[in-house]
Chains A and B, each alone.
Chain A
Amino acid sequence: MPFINDVLTFKSLSIVGLEKNTGKTETLNYILGRLKNMDTRIALTSIGIDGESTDIVTNTKKPEIRIYPGMIYISAEQHYLQKRIISEILDVSKIHTALGRLVIAKAINSDKVLLSGPADTQNLKALISDMEKFNVDLTIVDGALSRLSLASPAITEGMILTTGAAYSANIPVLVRKTKYVYDLINLPEVEPELKQKLDCVESGIIAIDTDNNLHDLNIKSVFMLKEAKDRAFSFGTRLFVAGATSNYLFEFLRMQKNVDTIELVVKDFSRIFATPEVYYSFIKKGGKVKVVNQTKLAAVCINPISPQGYNLSSDELKESMQEALQIPVYDVKKI
């Protein structure tokens, strides 16, 4: 039973697809199917509202998530009332979504469900820690990696990444693109003292001096950095950027004379939106990147079939991926 034992060591796990139709839901169903007979209490949620029965973007059939008796799931009020499954309401959360409040319910029988969840990191964190009230051992988050999503799946302890033909139909390109995300996930975490300080900073660009003191630079966005260049490094060469980081920032940092002493700190890997070329050229020049919240990668799953009809060779893809990442890779259709 691949990677299930790894999954059980976490209190929270997110499943993140690098693209739609990379087999995220299949992976989730696989895990739930394996966990159903174990003595582990599972709770399921998602980032925002998810779980439509057909994919709106590509109009392909999207497998629904099947849950089993005793599992807890989170659903928006309006979805809850349209459910097929028989389930018991445990609580109604104060968190609001476009489709009403979030309902926390326990499945009585086995059936398919539509998951919902908070759309921002704070509420997602609160919800996960709230699950302790219901003796939940593992909370699984159906995640999304997107600039549009305010909530980051990286707040969970563990993560499973799904990738596949939908992300790129060319095996070497697909491997390279996945390797990039893999590298980002493995970025080192800052020391605990600094982590605690930075955890509550939600916006802005902050300089960190050698004694780990924070200095707000009062620079509204990374695009203003150029104008404020003289101030940017007035407290040393460590910078924390709370929001998204783009090519612009990495290029700016790379072009500094002291690039090899610069250390950029970001909230988590999902806040980096630079292209691989720009990111790696910054690293090559000696720049360093660290994260406030690191998440452990439990597994990488591949889906060799894309909605456009590309069919990659499962074995070939699996092998080259494994070779590049040096961790076990699974084909969701074959496990």
Chain B
Amino acid sequence: MIDRLDLKSSLAHRMLLASPFLISTKDVSYQLQQINRTVNEFKIEDNKSTFEKVSIKISDIRDIFGTIKNIQNRLTLNDIELFEVKSFALLSEDIRELLKPIQFLWEQLPNLAQVVEILDPEGARIPSFYISNSFSPELGKLRKKLFGLEFLLEDAEDNSASSKELQQQSDELRNKITEVEDKIRQDLSDKLYRLDSELDKALIAIGNIDILIAKAKQAISEKLVIPDVEGDVTSYQGLFYPQLKATLEHDKKRYQPIDIDIYKGTCLITGANMAGKTVLLKTLALSQALCQYGFFVPATDAKIALVEQILFSIADEQSELSGLSSYASEMLKVNRIVQLGKKQKRILVLIDELARTTNPTEGRAIVSAVANILDNCNVRAVITTHYSGLSTQCRKLRVKGFMENSNDAVITIKNIGDYIDYSLIEDDGINVPHEALKIAQILGIDNDILSEAEKHLEMDKNKN
């Protein structure tokens, strides 16, 4: 999502990457309200061109973070740094002027007229800089004298006595000029030191405005919604995974958003293969993270209970290098989750197919154990599984799976998504769907495998 933000400046990029995971309701709602106001401003027709113009100006902004630090440390700035400060101040003033109709953004930007005044004594308002004569009358006189000398030097014969003397005079003059110039640089840096907090504020404000505009644009174009974070409830209507939705819509395929409530405790999710369980977990993680980094979320309506941490365990995370099998690394991860859970931390736990890489008998036991422990912690845990007959009292949801009437349709690997109902229903969890063979058939798996498997299923049934 961050990659798809239309940021205009490297400044905003740096600030965004440094932004923290917010855990207080106050911080999150402040961020979300800011986006909400920006989104509302975007809806006003007259503002569209204003935002356009502001964005163009922001794309010219240089990240002068380092230069401002030098000012704060009372270092004397060199010409390049002074140029940067001047062109920054001019741009900032332009942006401020443009933002006048959008009061709440305008307020965030301090007035830098004084900075411009200091670096542009002639009032030309052009973003170019040098130590010009207008900074000091003395400088003008010295330079004039130097140019005169140089003129004479050009005409003088090489190595003649007069040329040597002229050369010496010119060297002395140059030293004098450098001294005066340095004094001016020192003065300018001192004057800027008094305005350093204004400059700093302006830099941060411009970065923030860039981020806000980008977030608001994304919220509008991807149809994101402001989540309600005031209560202790997590509930989504029409939750979707933006990238997948975009890909499917691009291919003119159906995308089914999902409604889900997540209560405190554990929630087990069962469902056939290809029923979108992993995507659901990813979407939950994404929405929670987006919300707590101050973004809108992909849903039509959302209430989100803030957490201190999001813990995610997904699929194969084999680490051959550390000598752990996929089972071992999963167990270590789950162990960490349970330990944090026991400490009564507010966490969102998302585990994909817990203990799936070991034998079903023990796997079933592990799932029940983890589900029961987490059910009594201050966590919201969502665990997907294929195991049936779990001995746990926690809540269970099931993905509906194949549609009732899909039996007579010709299902292929290409259109399979059209015949799966991805919505969730409360379930007793005793019987998990057995659709693995059906899906294998659709995938075009060798018939021998299918018929052989059917035979074994028959045999198991007879045993029971």
CB of A233, distance to nearest CB on chain B (Å): 40
Residue from A92, A103, A105, A106 within 8 A of B62 (CB atoms):
A92
| Cβ-closest chain A residue relative to B130 | A88
> Is B79's CB under 8 angstroms from A81's CB?
yes
Interface string of A92-110 (1 = CB under 8 A from B): 1000000000010110111
- Please indicate which of the listed interface residues A80, A86, A110 has the most CB atoms of chain B within 10 Å of its own CB: A86
* A80: B residues at CB distance < 8 A: 79-80
* A87: B residues at CB distance < 8 A: 130
Given contacts A84-B174, A108-B130, contact A89 B80 (CB under 8 A): yes
B128 at the A interface (CB under 8 A): yes
A142 at the B interface (CB under 8 A): no
Interface string of B123-148 (1 = CB under 8 A from A): 00001111110000000000100010
A89 CA / B150 CA spacing, docked (Å): 23
A77 at the B interface (CB under 8 A): yes
A80 CA / B80 CA spacing, docked (Å): 9
Given contacts A77-B80, A81-B80, A84-B174, contact A89 B128 (CB under 8 A): yes
> Is A109's CB under 8 angstroms from B147's CB?
yes
CB of B144, distance to nearest CB on chain A (Å): 10
Number of A-B contacts (CB under 8 A): 36
| Cβ-closest chain B residue relative to A100 | B80
A residues 48-98 with Cβ under 8 Å of B? 77, 80-81, 84, 86-92
* B174: A residues at CB distance < 8 A: 84
A81 CA / B127 CA spacing, docked (Å): 19
> Is B80's CB under 8 angstroms from A88's CB?
no
B353 at the A interface (CB under 8 A): no
Interface string of B60-74 (1 = CB under 8 A from A): 001000000000000
> Is A88's CB under 8 angstroms from B78's CB?
no
* B330: A residues at CB distance < 8 A: none
> Is B130's CB under 8 angstroms from A89's CB?
yes
* B210: A residues at CB distance < 8 A: none
Given contacts A81-B78, A86-B143, contact A106 B128 (CB under 8 A): yes
Residue from B62, B79, B143, B147 within 8 A of A89 (CB atoms):
B79
A109 CA / B130 CA spacing, docked (Å): 12
> Is B143's CB under 8 angstroms from A92's CB?
no
A51 CA / B83 CA spacing, docked (Å): 24
| Cβ-closest chain B residue relative to A78 | B80
B228 at the A interface (CB under 8 A): no
Residue from A92, A106, A109 within 8 A of B84 (CB atoms):
A92
Interface string of B78-89 (1 = CB under 8 A from A): 111001100000
Residue from A92, A106, A108, A110 within 8 A of B80 (CB atoms):
A92
CB of B131, distance to nearest CB on chain A (Å): 8
Known: A87-B130, A89-B128. 6 other contacts (CB 8 A): A84-B174, A88-B128, A88-B129, A105-B130, A106-B128, A109-B150
A-B contact pairs, 11 of them (CB 8 A): A80-B79, A87-B130, A88-B132, A89-B83, A92-B80, A92-B83, A92-B84, A103-B80, A105-B130, A109-B143, A109-B147
Give B residues with C-beta under 8 Å from A.
62, 78-80, 83-84, 127-132, 143, 147, 150, 174
| 5 closest Cβ pairs, A-B complex | A88-B130, A89-B83, A90-B128, A89-B129, A88-B128
